[in-house]
Structure 1
Amino acid sequence: MSKELNFDKSPDGLLPAVIQDAQTGKVLMLGYMNREAYDKTAAEGVVTFFSRSKQRLWTKGETSSNFLRVEQMLVDCDGDTLLIKARPDGPTCHTGADTCFEEVNTGKGQFLNYLQHIIRDRKANPSDKSYTASLFAKGVNKIAQKVGEEAVELVIEAKDDNADLFKGEAADLLFHYLVLLEQKGFDLDDIIAVLQKRHAK
């Protein structure tokens, strides 16, 4: 983390920790951490809070097995709040709801942003073992050709009833489309902006 947490800013040594689903972006819950809970979370990769009601360390999921597995930990600009991006093993709320705010935790669109960064890294740091890097090495014509081939294969599968094959071809098309965007120097947000502009008309 680029900034250190300052537990001394709180009289009881507890700082708020906002838990966000790393894939969907949904806020799952809010808990509190002291230095010990933070260190345990950082070391084990599973979110542990300091429970104000139990007055002890409490690992989320210790009784339900619905653990929160850490993907990233960020500190706010004042050093007194933590944002943890995590992968939930199941419902987060003790009521059985997906989140403690009664929201349904769906929509994994943020993974496309993550995938886009991976593709960008493959272009900037090519490896002989990387399929993505090999596409960039062949240039825009080959990448565009792959997008066309995958689009045709998706259309063919759309005429049948094999859901797994259809989804596989759809994933192939989406991946190669992201590679083409990167090759052309565009971000997925650039395309979304066009859609938003059309929607606003």
Structure 2
Amino acid sequence: MNIDFSKSAHGLIPAIIQDSETKNVLMLGYMNAEAYQKTIDTQKVTFFSRSKQRLWTKGEESGNFLNLIDVKNDCDGDTLLIQAKPVGPTCHTGSDTCWQEPNNQEYGFISHLEKTITTRRENADSEKSYVASLFKLGINKIAQKVGEEAIEVVIEAKDDNDDLFLSESADLLFHYLILLQAKGFKLDNVINVLKSRQK
């Protein structure tokens, strides 16, 4: 990589640290050429500390290291995106990130949908909520509904109507997310099982 450390008077460039798995931004630090090389050599993210005026390996005192996974350079060659696997919290305050946010895995719209299901379940008194009504009927009804939707997906898969197939697939996924919560789980639990099967 052609990294341009000369753009700063002090030879420092920003290094954005991203969790390699969750893709959440954990912190921002600064590297000079020596810090970058030490990061590559030790596979532990190392910065140049502007306050201490020396190289500083994240976790050297706390044990909360950032194990290097990958490094990317931006289009101008003067900013690094470093993917790392954190060992413990990243922020000195004890937070997962320096923005005081939990480093949870998010799945975009699916995570939003899971939160909506949780909210509807917690407000089970709402007579207008389809989700709340399903939870009131109990696990057997929810499981039955998943089975019905799965059969409809299979039926539509054998036909040529893609719109119907996608619609039934959406219904199946929606009801499956409800079933997971009825059993006390989230999609994350299923994904962890899939990850454990990777070879």
TM-score (normalised: structure 2) = 0.55
1:12-70 Cα shifts (integer Å, max 9, x gaps): 10000000000111100000000000000011110000000000000000000000001
The structure with more radius of gyration: 2
Kept in 2: contact 1:98–1:104 (CA 8 A): yes
Which structure's relative contact order is higher, taking Cα pairs within 8 Å and 6+ residues apart? Answer: 1
TM-score (norm 1): 0.54
Partner Cα separation in structure 1 for residue 68 and residue 193 of structure 2: 26
Q: Does residue 11 of structure 1 match 2:17?
A: no
| C-alpha contact (below 8 Å) 1:24/1:109 kept by paired residues | no
Distance 1:31 1:59 in 2: 11
Among all aligned residue pairs of Structure 1 and Structure 2, give the percentage whose two residues are the same amino acid.
56
Shift of 1:9: 1.2
Which one of 71, 93, 96 corresponds to residue 94 of structure 2? 96
Per-residue displacement from partner, 1:117-156 (whole Å, max 9, x unpaired)? xxxxxxxxxxxxxxxxxxxxxxxxxxxxxxxxxxxxxxxx
2:66 to 57, 68, 90: 68
Does 1:171 pair with 2:193?
yes
What amino acid sits opposite 1:60 in the alignment? K
SS at match of 1:71: strand
Q: Secondary structure at the match of 1:62?
A: coil
For the pair 1:107 / 2:129, whether they are aligned, the reply is no
Letter in 2 for 1:26: N
Q: Report the Cα distance in structure 2 between the residues aligned to 1:5 and 1:108, rounded to whole angstroms.
A: 31
2:40 partner SS: helix
Q: In structure 2, what is the Cα distance between the partners aligned to 1:18 and 1:55?
A: 19
Residue type at the aligned position of 2:193: A
* Post-superposition offset of 1:171: 3.3
The number of aligned residues is 123
Deviant stretches of 4+, over 4 Å: 167-170
Q: Any stretches of 5+ residues in structure 1 without a counterpart?
A: 111-157, 177-201
Stretches of structure 2 lacking an aligned partner (at least 5 in a row):
109-179
Hey, what's the Cα distance between the residues in 1 that align with 2:54 and 2:14? 16
